[in-house]
Structure 1
Amino acid sequence: MIEKLMQMTRASGCAAKINPKDLENFLSKIKQTKDKRLLAGFEHNEDAAVYKLDENTGIVFTLDLITPLVNDPYVFGQIAATNSLSDVFAMGGRPLMALNIVCFPEEEKKYNLLEEILRGGADKVAEAGGILAGGHSLNDKEPKYGLAVVGLVDPKKVIYNNTPEVGDFLILTKPLGVGIISTAIKGEIAEKRVVDKAVFWMTKLNKLSQELLELNIHSLTDVTGFGLVGHLSEMLLLSGKELGAKIMFEDIPVIEGVYDYVNTGMVSEGAMKNRKIYSCIAEKNINLSFEKEIVLYDPQTSGGLLISIDPQQVEKAIKLLHQEGFTESKIIGEVIKSKSKERIKIC
């Protein structure tokens, strides 16, 4: 049963996103309805849309779906749901309800796989404190699964992806490398201990405690399909300010074993595409081998949160994150003032 799930998908590694430059071009041609109650929409590539209902209530709305990354259908369902729920958490919100989005072949002999996928997703929605309220299915040869999620947030406490400040410290809450590991799984060379570690992080909800959310977090996003450098570049460039970042490479958490897989060619097309798009914004001030550099561009599914926070509260944030199970959370750099084309300095 488990082997069949991976055989049913043509994709390798994490599900690739459309080139962000192409997306920007498409979206610029779509007429956008102006509404002052829409607090987050097209403009800043936000993780989710936010609509203000009243002074105390905002609706967070998002959707996502992916192709199988692991062999176990139940675990795949958990990963896909965790990934979809993440965008609500990345806005400082909490999930309210979700709808399944399912693409699956209409073959009765394979429905046991679908049942396990949906069970994994339902368990994660419940863990997040939400209600699974239905969904929609489509007959498709290649399995895909995800959620449309509605959440709640205080309109005054929405955390945006483009509001960092000079002097902020940058925290990454999960280690990088799940895209490379997913490619290694597809290539049938991934070791169980490495896969187990990747699954642990991909199925860990990006849910932050209220105590953490009450700290002076200036900006927040989750690291997903565009990799660390891609999502950090959005945080800086979309701010509209002369901002850059100094990143300490050795402080970036990476899942053990990832570099070995890169050396055997387990690099996804998405990682190479991200490197081509975003490397122009990154200046390397240290010598990085290819296997290390490519991790910075590795597409993450259900990746960690990238937090831009007041330096006076960073140690408290790290302590709280560790207490809440984000045991590999690290300070990876700081926000600096920069006019340079290469806004991200890798040291």
Structure 2
Amino acid sequence: MTSTRLTQFAHGGGCACKIPPGELEEIVRDLTGDTGPDLVVGLDDGDDAAIVRVQDGLAVVATADFFTPVVDDAYDFGRIAAANALSDVYAMGGRPVVAVNLVGWPRDVLPGELLREVLRGGLDICREAGCHVGGGHSIDDPEPKYGLAVTGVADPARVMRNDAARAGQPISLSKHLGVGVLNNRHKSTGEVFPQAIASMTALNKRAAAAALEAGIAAATDVTGFGLLGHLYKMARASGVTAVVDAAAVPYLDGAREALRDGFVSGGTWRNLDWVRPHLASGVDEDELLLLADAQTSGGLLLAGEIPGAPVIGEFVPRADTTLVIR
């Protein structure tokens, strides 16, 4: 078990294995527009979770997230996948209440003991979040996959959504970037990066609580579409332009070295290709690749300020382009 490299049993890893954003938007283009007085947030702007009002002062937040291994250690894989799934609820201003496991496992290739470690990691993170785990669903799958379907609760009058950013608001980021290139290096070489694991397993619970306390109404989490992809979606949905100070964006130790050595995922290139037509940039290609780096269990991207989260830019009135990088 200790010598099994889970990342070698999957073609991609973590949120970098998402369907490309432009391709996904085309697939769901005719499936949006579900409306109703109690549907607070639906599919229209590709937000992090759905929110439905069930009574005055109470809404249900629903999401699901799963992916292939992003690290070789089974327990850490479970922790990362669970933290990533819970993050969607936090990004909406909700509190996760109950989750069910989602499992795909090559049972004739990988031992059940490894899957037990994955599930144990997910359970430990959910306990840390105060979220119950009530079973789940599993299938025999050629690639290992794990995640959660999560149900949370929120005050429908105090949710955070990706279409509520306004000109004049600062842009804050609650976690460092760079886990994508570090994870890609890990998959290729077996090197372990504790700083990346610590970032990916850190819950966005405190950042979400601080954002609600500050009255922030617009947020998303930075995952597979990278900072640029998620910021583009946020600015587009809100009808504003996002201006980013590239020098203010924080990165994990080793991220720039991993980029220099070529450990860039295909998902990162697709992210950059997707936003490039909507981008005005004054930085070089390497800097853009780091900004487009496909993250797994990244931080919250906020229209406002909270303690400990650096301000990396601001939203301004809609200009000729949706993203400006300085």
Q: TM-score, normalised by structure 2?
A: 0.95
Deviation at residue 12 of structure 1 after TM alignment: 4.8
1: CA distance, partners of 2:138 / 2:94: 27
Gapped runs of 5+ residues in structure 2? none
Is 1:344 paired with 2:323? yes
Deviates more, 1:204-213 or 1:123-132: 204-213
2: CA distance, partners of 1:37 / 1:229: 31
Is 1:294 paired with 2:289? yes
Q: Provide the residue aligned with 1:237 in structure 2.
A: 236
Deviates more, 1:218-227 or 1:207-216: 207-216
Q: Provide the residue aligned with 1:204 in structure 2.
A: 202
2: CA distance, partners of 1:51 / 1:14: 26
Q: Provide the residue aligned with 2:227 in structure 1.
A: 228
Q: Which amino acid aligns with 2:183?
A: S
Is 1:126 paired with 2:127? yes
Whether the 8 Å CA contact 1:259–1:292 is kept in 2: the answer is no
Deviation at residue 344 of structure 1 after TM alignment: 1.7
Q: Provide the residue aligned with 2:272 in structure 1.
A: 275
Is 1:250 paired with 2:247? yes
Q: Provide the residue aligned with 1:325 in structure 2.
A: none
Deviation at residue 22 of structure 1 after TM alignment: 2.4
Partner SS for 1:35: coil
Deviates more, 1:272-281 or 1:83-92: 272-281
1: CA distance, partners of 2:32 / 2:323: 33
2: CA distance, partners of 1:12 / 1:174: 20
* Superposition CA RMSD, Å: 1.7
Whether the 8 Å CA contact 2:32–2:43 is kept in 1: the answer is no
Partner SS for 2:69: coil
Deviation at residue 282 of structure 1 after TM alignment: 1.9
Partner SS for 1:307: strand
Q: TM-score, normalised by structure 1?
A: 0.89
Partner SS for 2:17: coil
- Call closer, same or farther: CA 1:27–1:109 in 2, change over 3 Å: closer
Deviates more, 1:4-13 or 1:125-134: 4-13
Deviation at residue 245 of structure 1 after TM alignment: 1.8
- Call closer, same or farther: CA 1:211–1:16 in 2, change over 3 Å: closer
Partner SS for 1:29: helix
- Call closer, same or farther: CA 1:13–1:34 in 2, change over 3 Å: closer
Deviates more, 1:14-23 or 1:300-309: 14-23
Whether the 8 Å CA contact 1:15–1:67 is kept in 2: the answer is no
Q: Provide the residue aligned with 2:115 in structure 1.
A: 114
Partner SS for 1:147: strand
Is 1:214 paired with 2:213? yes
Deviates more, 1:76-85 or 1:1-10: 1-10
Whether the 8 Å CA contact 2:98–2:151 is kept in 1: the answer is yes
Q: Provide the residue aligned with 2:257 in structure 1.
A: 260
How many residues were matched structurally? 324
Partner SS for 2:127: helix
Gapped runs of 5+ residues in structure 1? 323-328
1: CA distance, partners of 2:119 / 2:66: 13
2: CA distance, partners of 1:233 / 1:145: 28
2: CA distance, partners of 1:99 / 1:176: 28
Partner SS for 1:99: strand
2: CA distance, partners of 1:211 / 1:115: 34
Partner SS for 1:15: helix
Q: Which amino acid aligns with 1:169?
A: P
1: CA distance, partners of 2:76 / 2:286: 28
Whether the 8 Å CA contact 1:13–1:186 is kept in 2: the answer is no
1: CA distance, partners of 2:229 / 2:33: 25
Q: Which amino acid aligns with 2:220?
A: T
Equivalent pairs: percent with the same residue?
A: 38
